[in-house]
Amino acid sequence: MATGINDDKDTGPARGGRRPGPATGAGRPPRGRTSDSGRVRGAGLGQDRGMADVIVVGGGIIGLTAATRLRERGAEVTVWSAQEPAETVSAVAAAAWYPTRTGPGERILAWAAASYDQFRRDAFDRVPGVLVRETRNLERSGATGEPWWAPAARGVRYHPAPAPWTREVRFRAPLVEMGEYLPWLRERLRTAGARVLRRRVDRLEEALVEAPVVVNATGLAAGPLCGDPDVLPARGQIVLVANTGIYTSVRDEGEPGTYVHPRSRDVVLGGTWQEGDWNTTPDPATRDAILERCRALVPELAGAPIVGEKVGLRPVRRGGPRVEAEKWPGGTVVHAYGHGGAGMTLCWGCADEVAALAL
């Protein structure tokens, strides 16, 4: 899960598949918004008043990646977060790349592709917490064509599978250990000159007093902050067991979905998808059911000691993620919320678009 518990999965482009272009604004300044000197208009907007150009409200994976792209474009950026990285729902995520319960659509595909590429670069550069895992995705739908998300990744292979599955899809997927990656990303921002502050807001207007542009990356809090009735939680419970030598991710796409994501020291077992459930206390019966399904899927898990269990509330939005600019009386709010269980999968591509909208 990503800005939440992550059922994230991955696949690469099907054989002969064509890779999509970059997400909106990726790698270039917004059209029509540069001065003769090439400087992005928008950067420096708040300087005459001694303010940041942009305040990003939210310190999870969506907020921190958006802030990073904004700073790379030259904006003076401040991040306001009510929580430390380890306290955000992003930190609970299994964070394996896959557009969980989102899409299809060209915009989502472009975000997923940009994020896949960024995390593969991060893994090559040995960024803390970023891994790449061989993945076996066990389908039950009977589909024979290319999955809509396949062009966003590389090297998808298709294999027969025994009943009750109808096909096995294999690929290599980025997997992020958020406990390491989020603090690294925050320190990278600070080193680049951004400010990261511990601050809770009750109204987005509080940020507009201090910057002409505000990025609303507040996850579930976006519902009350901007009056969006379509925001709701999807409860996810995971179990952590010691990694005794498992290196391949496995997913069963049945209901409820089952997944096994091996990290460097533990293995994330899941999962659940309980929309509208705000309960963050682990349920023993749910834990036992997860263990039973995962051990049946990967028998090598038998005997692996339990080292933890967690619950996260994915920030779901009916109709999909909201990423758009909106004029408010005090300035511009760029909304970036509602990514559900695919926050990690979409974050960097979404951040490119947020930066283009903000500057």
| DSSP line for 133-151 | EEEEEEE-S---S--TTGG
Read off the pLDDT of each residue in 305-327 and give the average, rounded to a whole number: 97
Read off the pLDDT of each residue in 6-23 and give the average, rounded to a whole number: 33
| pLDDT higher than threshold 50 for residue 184 | yes
pTM to 2 decimals? 0.86
| pLDDT higher than threshold 60 for residue 215 | yes
Inter-CA distances, 326 with 60, 129, 216, Å: 22, 35, 11
Q: Which of 221, 217, 218 is nearest to 66 (CA)?
A: 217
Q: Give the percent of the chain with pLDDT over 90.
A: 81
Phi, psi of 289, deg, nearest 5: -65, -40
**Binding-site annotation: residue ranges for FAD:** 201, 218, 340-345
Q: How confident is the model at residue 38 (pLDDT cuts 50, 70, 90)?
A: very low
Radius of gyration of the CA atoms of the chain, in A: 20
**Burial, 38: exposed, middle or buried (Cβ in 10 Å; 0-12, 13-18, 19+)?**
exposed
Q: Which of 238, 341, 345, 245 is nearest to 294 (CA)?
A: 238
Neighbouring C-beta atoms of residue 350, cutoff 10 Å: 32
| pLDDT higher than threshold 80 for residue 11 | no
| pLDDT higher than threshold 50 for residue 73 | yes
Read off the pLDDT of each residue in 330-354 and give the average, rounded to a whole number: 97
What tens digit of pLDDT does each residue of 99-134 get? 989 989 999 999 999 999 999 999 999 999 999 999
What region, left, alpha or beta, does residue 95 occupy, with left being phi > 0 and alpha being psi -120 to 50 degrees? Answer: left
How far apart CA 291 and CA 41 sit, in angstroms, is 53
Residue 103 confidence (pLDDT): 83
Beta strand 213-216 pairing with 54-57: parallel
Alpha helices in 125-253 (DSSP H): 178-191, 205-208, 222-226
Residue 147 confidence (pLDDT): 93
Q: 202 and 84 in contact (C-beta within 8 Å)?
A: no
**Binding-site annotation: residue ranges for D-dopa:** 259, 314, 341
Q: How confident is the model at residue 50 (pLDDT cuts 50, 70, 90)?
A: low
What tens digit of pLDDT does each residue of 241-256 get? 999 999 999 999 988 8
| pLDDT higher than threshold 80 for residue 78 | yes
Q: How confident is the model at residue 32 (pLDDT cuts 50, 70, 90)?
A: very low
**In sequence order, what DSSP letters do the residues of 48-110 get, joined into one string?**
GGT--SEEEE--SHHHHHHHHHHHHTT--EEEEESS-GGGSGGGG---BSS-TT---SHHHHH
Token pair of 108 as six digits: 């989502």
Beta bridge mates, 313? 235
Residue 157 confidence (pLDDT): 94
